[in-house]
A and B are shown apart, each in its own frame.
Chain A
Amino acid sequence: MGASGIGKLPRWLIAFTAVCLFLMHLPVLVLIAFSFNASKFAVTWTGFTFGWYRRLLERDDILHALQASLIVGITATAIAVTLGTLIALALARHRFRGRTIYEGMMYVPIVTPEIVTGISLLVLFVFLRMPLGLSTIIIAHVAFCVPFVVVVVVARLAGMDENLEEAAMTLGADEVTTFFRITLPLLWPGILSAALLSFILSFDDFVITSLVAGSGSSTLPLVIYSMVRRNVEPSINAISALIVVATSVLLYVSDRMSRRNDPSHA
């Protein structure tokens, strides 16, 4: 039994996995390849150029949108992760009246179609006479990121040994010390995953953002969609390629960090 284990995968399985991975990543590879294409239309290859990357630097609209997306993504993630972690702790560690209803309601935003959420938020903001802009986008993003954070952190909490916290308290640590010395470090990989997930959800959201954005707050997806409608210029490929590279680096780093912190991988 033990001898048949890891490291001796059948060849066909390796080949199958390789083909799957290749097909999964092919569109991205094509996209990156065409960001170096001299032609304005991404179908025929007419020569190699860095021109579209240089053009990016001249496109103030794209750079502004990138800046807006980063501001929204980072702020919304910070708020959503804080709120979501606290909610997850309450749900997983405490028994209170209406807990099941509360938990159920947490999942409603996940299954609600985005267009419905977007329209409701727009009508709400207009009703409250809030000027549309970065702040309304951030509020909307927090609203749809929190449930995802809760799901991820609750799952992490479920796999955590509660005895460790009890042991710390038995040994004289108060609740606050226990939280910062025991619970939070153990929870960290979950929080990090939740943060990455909500950042990416926020960074590429289109439907909700398009409805709650106001003057001076176009995010990157809004600009890209609008460009696609008129004309797909390869500078879109260039910015997408940069995003793919940045995301890959981010994922690699976070993977390394969570491995180091996660005792089950040690």
Chain B
Amino acid sequence: MACERNGRVVFSDISFRLEAGQSAELRGVNGAGKSSLLRVVAGLVPLAGGTLTLNGESEFATQCHYAGHLDGLKPAMTVLENLQFWEDCFDGGDVDAALAAFALRDLRDVAVQILSAGQRRRLALSRLLLSHRTLWLLDEPMTALDAASQEKLYGHMKTHLAQGGMILVATHGDLGFVPHQVIAL
């Protein structure tokens, strides 16, 4: 695969293969193209060269869940309203379970604008459990999370893999469990 953004070649000649139930960690310095790679896979950036398929299909944006730096949460709405909105967009999912997954039940009626960075991150990540997508694309998901929340995240990631899901996660090398493979950029 190759990727170009704003006329600049971000990466070229990247190749990987992920089996069901496997995770891969993307490692690289700033600007190496970790985020770009995730966005390419999510269908948010056009592929400049090469091929990309999931189960043999090249159109699979609706089978991915991309969780980037921007969380897509509306500060003027409550935690519950935000989650319900995405539940409707994904057309299914269990809001209550998602709230429970990151210990957000007590915050359900709080407006997002007064959440702390860590709480916001937890809310953003809890959507992973709403969307029921095969491939999770996580861009430095541990940012702003405390140790307990990180453990929760790893737990959900492992459950997802155990259920046959796949995970691509970009980090600076501080992932709390051993991935099936490491892709260096």
Specify whether A and B are partners: no
